[in-house]
Amino acid sequence: GRLEAVTQQMGYHPQYLDSFLKTQHYLMHMDGPLPFDCRHYIAIMAAARHHCRYLVNLHVLQFLQAGGDPQWLRGLDYIPPKLRNLNEINKILAHRPWLITKEHIEKLLKISEWSWSLAELVHAVVLLAHCHALASFVFGCGCEQDEGLGGRGSLKALSPGNQCFCEATAGNGCGQELLRINRKRSLDSCMELDSLRERMQRIHVETDGREEMRLLQQDREEGKGAAVPHLDSSAGLSPPADPDGEVTGATNLACYMQDPDFGYQDFARRDENQTQVFRVQDYSWEDHGFSLVNRLYSDIGHLLDEKFRMVDGLQSTAMAKRQGCEPSVFKRGIWNYIHCMFGIRYDDYDYAEVNQLLERVLKVYIKTVTCYPEKTNAEMFDRFWKQFKHSEKVHVNLLILEARMQAELLYALQAITQYMI
């Protein structure tokens, strides 16, 4: 039941929630190429790229419940080389997916003791994209600050008013059943969670102690005195800060990352050429990505496709009315703007429409949540169309989630396709 803050927000759009829960359940809990503990560890690695404590803590608990080795939670140095080798594409997909190439795929698939199979790699790629995009939603809707998961900061957890979450999913069998199962699991395992938290705390204390000693030794050598490790804010990787400006939990999540200074950079449109820009006409989800992912990881393509279609079918009449256009036109403007930030272009779209449809405040919000979600703050959310219903703001965050996930998948699946040719 630890995903409640996320599912409460998605509960404003119960049909989408049902589709999301089916996909999430299939990725994490149904038959697939990857062991269950590895799935949750990959989710930890993905969420850590954006300092998303909410998702990291969620999957740490589920990793231990799945029988995962607690030593792995000490950081990437303590996991099998096969998993650690996934770090490079995790980093690239999270921040600059246009840099992924068939050489990255080949390196993981090459014949060796630690090689990946194609099916395993596709499962891992979908997990990475899913968790990167979900981190954007978590920060965009304020779920990161759920106190039950140790969140700290100025952005408060949001709630769906008086709407009962069970009622929100009524009529959507899968969503209702999964919520019932999640609640039962939560009740059945409440005592076990106390034990898991104690184990987590011991692991983090040990990790923090070693990190402090390393930093003190480094400071002595450099003669600079004790200091908090600096993360380049321009790279979009500054950890959340509390109201007093204290950096929170950077070292805990740093153990799950390598190259923490690697972050999003604006796609170089001024240097645009045929090799840099991703043309959807040449490689699309509908014509290429869907069939490849479904062939290598049975049925996941159908679930993802349903989710993409579901978010496209959500109504946003009030938002569109304000801009004086049809809902479909408004949603396409947001979707194409997000893809444009990742270097994905549609030849049949006039990008001048984006500036006409999306106000500057909205564009800043979308870019922040999409590209460096950990920098999202309460002021951005409050300034983002104050007069609109909360459900409409959630809708925008769902568009961000799905557009970002599809962008990452397109780059990764294209690279896999190029390797297979």
- Residue given tokens 């996991």 in the structure block: 79
What angle do the packed helices 53-65 and 118-140 form, to 10 degrees? Answer: 140
Mean pLDDT of 50-61: 94
Distance in angstroms (rounded) separating the CA atoms of residues 101 and 412: 8
Mean pLDDT of 129-154: 73
Q: Name residues whose C-beta falls within 8 Å of residue 16's C-beta, 6 or more positions apart in sequence.
A: 10, 307, 310, 311, 314, 398
pLDDT band for position 220 (50/70/90)? very low
Domain membership flag for residue 246: no
Domain membership flag for residue 276: yes
Q: What pLDDT score was predicted for residue 314?
A: 86
Q: Give percent of the chain with pLDDT exceeding 70.
A: 69
* Sign of the alpha-carbon torsion through 189, 27, 138, 211: positive
Domain membership flag for residue 21: yes
Whether the CB-CB separation of 139 and 376 falls below 8 Å is answered with yes
Task: Point out the least confidently predicted range of 4-8, 52-56, 187-191.
Answer: 187-191
- Residue given tokens 């090459």 in the structure block: 110
Distance in angstroms (rounded) separating the CA atoms of residues 251 and 243: 19
Domain membership flag for residue 391: yes
Q: pTM of the full predicted structure?
A: 0.77
Task: Indicate if 131 belongs to the active site.
Answer: no
- Number of independent structural domains in the chain: 1
Domain membership flag for residue 241: no
Tokens of 113: 């003791």
pLDDT band for position 198 (50/70/90)? low
Give ∠ CA 317-319-325 in degrees, rounded to 5: 70
Tokens of 285: 């989800």
- Residue given tokens 């900061």 in the structure block: 153
Domain membership flag for residue 98: yes
pLDDT higher than threshold 70 for residue 153? no
pLDDT tens digits, 256-290: 999 999 999 888 654 555 457 899 999 999 999 99
Q: What pLDDT score was predicted for residue 202?
A: 56
**What backbone torsions phi and psi does residue 194 show, to the nearest 5 degrees?**
-60, -40
Helices (H), 324-389: 327-341, 352-357, 360-371, 378-383
Nearest residue to 132 (alpha-carbon basis) of 49, 16, 53? 49
| Amino acid at site 194 | D
Structure-model confidence comparison of residues 185 and 324, the more confident one: 324
In this structure, the number of other CB atoms found within 10 A of the CB of residue 220 comes to: 11
Whether the CB-CB separation of 351 and 334 falls below 8 Å is answered with no
Domain membership flag for residue 204: no
Strand partners, 279: 345
Q: What pLDDT score was predicted for residue 156?
A: 41
Whether the CB-CB separation of 53 and 39 falls below 8 Å is answered with no
**What backbone torsions phi and psi does residue 344 show, to the nearest 5 degrees?**
-105, 125
Q: What pLDDT score was predicted for residue 234?
A: 30
What angle do the packed helices 87-95 and 390-420 form, to 10 degrees? Answer: 130
Nearest residue to 256 (alpha-carbon basis) of 114, 128, 375, 136? 128
Distance in angstroms (rounded) separating the CA atoms of residues 115 and 109: 5
Q: 38, 52, 141, 143: which one is catalytic? A: 52
Identify the domain containing residue 25 by its residue range: 3-144+254-420
Phi-psi map region of 266: left, alpha, beta (phi>0 left; psi -120 to 50 alpha): beta
Nearest residue to 346 (alpha-carbon basis) of 410, 401, 303, 301? 410
